[in-house]
Structure 1
Amino acid sequence: MDVNDKILIVEDEAALADILKQYLEQAGYDVEILSEGRHAVKRILDVAPALVVLDLMLPGKDGLTICREVRAKSDVPIIMETAKVEEIDRLLGLELGADDYLCKPFSPRELVARVRAILRRSLPRETSDTVDPHRLDLDSETWKVSLGGKPVDLTRREFQLLEALHRRPGRVFSRAQLLDLVFPDDAAVIDRTIDSHIKNIRQKMKAVTGDWDPIRSVYGVGYAFES
């Protein structure tokens, strides 16, 4: 565990907050709970936790405002909770800078897995003579992709899509956002085109790695890259 292993949960549902606290503590984290949003920004900046779990609807100050204010001064990882899948789409469109989103009800085990994945990305990479089989390298000048030192043959669109996801690991992109990034001038392209390209990318990467799939599907929303 890192020196700073504190997780700050900002959640006004006491029962949910207590359950999340129990699961995170069992996973080895030090957990603190705030039940309202009024003093959340100051507490986050003062404590500098390893990660923040932030509910959208809070008394005192809502999660959306808290996320904006924190992100203006800190890069602390933030997982936002919301009660509606549709709300995630709206939050993504606002470019809040949260690292991940969870729709209630969700499994506490899923939260722990998301926390571990985000914090693992923040750890310094160990130096080694052995090539990591999951190391992904993208060269935007030559349009070449390698995975564990082995080439992956992607089309230009597939490369652009993978690069957009890889540039912001853990960030959830809606299909509409990915269309804007990869097909900005083609109004005829539909959302399902993204799904087709993702399927092709996964197949080509698995052909190199076996069964490793770093692209996470977020039901009803879109995709994220998990390193």
Structure 2
Amino acid sequence: MSSRTVLIGYNVRGRRVVAALRESGCTTGFTVVDSDPRRAEQAVLEGVHAVVGPCWRLRTLWLAGAHTADHIVVAVQDDDMAQRIISAVRSINDGATIITIAGGSEPQPMVKYLGADHIVNVSQADEWAPDAERPHDRGHAFADLEWTVAERAVTHDEIGCSPLDCRHQVVAVVRRGQRLWAEDPAVAVLRGEDRLLVVTPGPPRT
């Protein structure tokens, strides 16, 4: 039985992944997801099935088949956005192997917490397809940041709102002792008794 792979992000990083898949003999069974129609069109011109839409939206991921994929590679250039995508992917697919390409070592504890199985540094990705174009992305812009998952109460102005509309990136909602991913439709809107797991910049407070 052949495996199915969904690649999220058809930038330079993503194209290197496709090149590596083709070098290993995988020419079918993978789908590209990108929010930029031009990059998605480029993927189609290069013979790759593509879906256009916000990469962190559940509807986009479902259209791409991420809920049934065996392997999901997150290759977006923004490490912060990668964390949000990993959270969304894991909420609809518990069994997939999630691989993310990170711009530095700082976000690695975070993406593992969110459900990534393997983390590949950009420099390692160069080894997958050494003849491909080298990435000129802004992953290094996050090298000086530390990210912390903190738990806090829902504020008064957040009650009745979607967790995705909060001013801080909400990873999950703890409701009656159960952790629900922020993208989970079961969350709907926030309640006063909910607790939030949020991503905040900076080291953990002591």
Please tell me the TM-score bracket, short chain as reference. Answer: 0.3 to 0.5
The structure with the greater share of residues assigned to strand is 2
Greater RCO (Cα-Cα under 8 Å, separation 6 or more): 2
Please identify which structure carries the higher helix content: 1
Query: Which protein shows a greater Rg?
Result: 1
